[in-house]
């Protein structure tokens, strides 16, 4: 099918039918070398991890509308075949971009991955978590030399210039909020990264915060997001590189998404329907699939569908879960599902268009 004709079924899927995912997250492993206090990952061994053959079957049956696959963990680079996993998705699915999240502790593995991805022209966006300045970060995550390894990992990724996107990510939690603004400035001015992402604590630990701490987290999150907005507008933060549609949309969503997340966090109220289970989904290390990583609902395990992703996605159980999410007006602050909600709901389009126009003008001013 010609490229322009593919847009029509993709738009129909995103806006009307919601039958196929546009954004999937695969937990490639539940193993990790760090021990972060805020972690919600349920640590496991490599025994049940999906292998390459199974991953290929899943990728090639993930439909025609998939745009992005995020590979996460655990620590993703503990999988020695991480590059092969990324390549399988890129070559066998319709995904046009790959996100790799990492704690940044294994620079040699990052280097090998970057070299291979560059050779194969696979567009990768790296997301590295960063909570505290310097050695305090290594201590907090209980991983010796983590800070210096992150610096090294960043250096390697940056050495590929325009080829890859690099984002440092800070999560606002009861542990990090007091120093978060200082950490943000350090990432911007000393580590000099092109993009910074600030996310709010989520999962079970977010539900046991006292109202006072909740207020502090909310204020810190707002301050950092406002700084990010200003820094992006004046070119101190570059945002996603390039003039591709993905970069334009991601930079525009960065400007508006946080306001809805903050509103949801502050008011604890539903704003718009969630697309988890329809346009967005999770594949766990062992083949379990779920609408999201927050709701305690499992669609099934892919091995029961011979690793045919769409067969599982269109099963009766998946349908019931989707209906329940809509019926109960489920809401949360999970950024990945919010991202898809934003792009699939016409009510957000005027604001999205406004942010795109503002970013285009900004490009002209900072050049």
Q: How far apart are CA 134 and CA 128, in angstroms?
A: 14
Distance of closest approach, residue 329 Cβ to ligand SF4, in angstroms: 9
Q: Which is nearer to ligand SF4, 63 or 291 (CB)?
A: 291
Distance of closest approach, residue 325 Cβ to ligand SF4, in angstroms: 5
Q: Which is nearer to ligand SF4, 221 or 307 (CB)?
A: 221
Distance of closest approach, residue 185 Cβ to ligand SF4, in angstroms: 23
Distance of closest approach, residue 294 Cβ to ligand SF4, in angstroms: 4
Q: Which is nearer to ligand SF4, 28 or 248 (CB)?
A: 28
Kindly report the three-state secondary structure assignment for every residue of the chain: CCHHHHHHHHHHHHHHHCCCCCEEEEECCCCCCCCCCCCCCCCCCCCCCCCHHHHHHHHHCCCCCCCEEEEECCCHHHCCCHHHHHHHHHHHCCCCEEEEEECCCCHHHHHHHHHHHHHCCCCEEEEEECCCCCHHHHHHCCCCCHHHHHHHHHHHHHCCHHHCEEEEEEEECCCCHHHHHHHHHHHHHCCCCCEEEEEECCCHHHHHCCHHHHHHHHHHHHHHHHHHHHHHHCCCCCCCCCCCHHHHHHHHHHHHHHHHHHHHHHHCCCCCCCCECCCEEEECCCCEEECCCCCCCCCEEHHHHCCCHHHHHCCHHHHHHHHHHHHCCCCCCCHHHHHHHHHHCHHHHHHHHHHHHHHHHHHHHHC
List CB contacts of 115: < 8 A, sequence separation 6 or more.
none
Q: Which is nearer to ligand SF4, 103 or 359 (CB)?
A: 103
Q: How far apart are CA 303 and CA 298, in angstroms?
A: 14
Q: Which is nearer to ligand SF4, 36 or 154 (CB)?
A: 36
Q: Which is nearer to ligand SF4, 215 or 329 (CB)?
A: 329
| Interacting residue ranges for ligand SF4, rule: CB under 6 A | 32, 34-36, 39, 41, 73-75, 103, 141, 274, 276, 291-292, 294-295, 325, 330-332, 334, 337
Q: Which is nearer to ligand SF4, 82 or 274 (CB)?
A: 274
Distance of closest approach, residue 233 Cβ to ligand SF4, in angstroms: 30
Distance of closest approach, residue 6 Cβ to ligand SF4, in angstroms: 27
Q: Which is nearer to ligand SF4, 129 or 254 (CB)?
A: 129
Distance of closest approach, residue 101 Cβ to ligand SF4, in angstroms: 8
Distance of closest approach, residue 140 Cβ to ligand SF4, in angstroms: 9
């Amino acid at each position: 099918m010609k490229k322009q004709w593919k847009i029509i079924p993709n738009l129909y899927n995103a806006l009307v039918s919601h039958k196929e995912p546009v954004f999937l997250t695969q937990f490639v492993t539940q193993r990790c070398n760090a021990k972060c206090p805020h972690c919600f990952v349920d640590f496991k061994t490599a025994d049940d991890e999906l292998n390459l053959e199974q991953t290929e079957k899943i990728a090639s049956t993930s439909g025609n509308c998939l745009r992005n696959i995020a590979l996460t963990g655990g620590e993703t680079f503990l999988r020695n075949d991480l590059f092969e996993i990324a390549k399988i998705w890129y070559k066998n699915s319709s995904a046009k971009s790959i996100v790799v999240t990492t704690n940044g502790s294994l620079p040699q593995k990052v280097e090998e991955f970057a070299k291979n991805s560059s050779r194969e022209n696979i567009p990768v966006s790296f997301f590295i978590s960063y909570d505290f300045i310097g050695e305090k970060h290594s201590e907090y995550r209980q991983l010796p030399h983590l800070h210096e390894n992150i610096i090294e990992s960043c250096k390697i990724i940056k050495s590929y210039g325009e080829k890859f996107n690099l984002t440092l990510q800070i999560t606002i939690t009861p542990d990090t909020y007091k120093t978060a603004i200082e950490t943000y400035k350090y990432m911007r001015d000393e580590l000099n990264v092109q993009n910074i992402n600030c996310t709010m604590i989520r999962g079970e630990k977010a539900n046991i915060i006292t109202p006072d701490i909740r207020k502090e987290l909310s204020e810190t999150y707002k301050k950092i997001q406002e700084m990010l907005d200003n820094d992006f507008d004046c070119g101190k933060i570059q945002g996603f590189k390039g003039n591709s549609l993905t970069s334009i949309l991601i930079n525009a969503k960065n400007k508006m998404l946080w306001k809805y997340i903050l509103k949801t966090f502050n008011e604890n109220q539903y704003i718009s329907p969630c697309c988890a289970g329809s346009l967005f989904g999770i594949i766990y290390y062992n083949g379990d699939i779920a609408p999201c990583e927050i709701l305690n609902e499992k669609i099934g395990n892919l091995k029961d569908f011979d690793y045919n992703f769409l067969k599982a996605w269109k099963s009766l159980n998946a349908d019931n879960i989707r209906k329940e999410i809509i019926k109960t007006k489920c809401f949360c602050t999970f950024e990945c599902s919010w991202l898809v909600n934003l792009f699939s709901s016409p009510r957000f389009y005027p604001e999205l268009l406004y942010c795109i126009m503002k970013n285009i003008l900004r490009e002209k001013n900072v050049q």
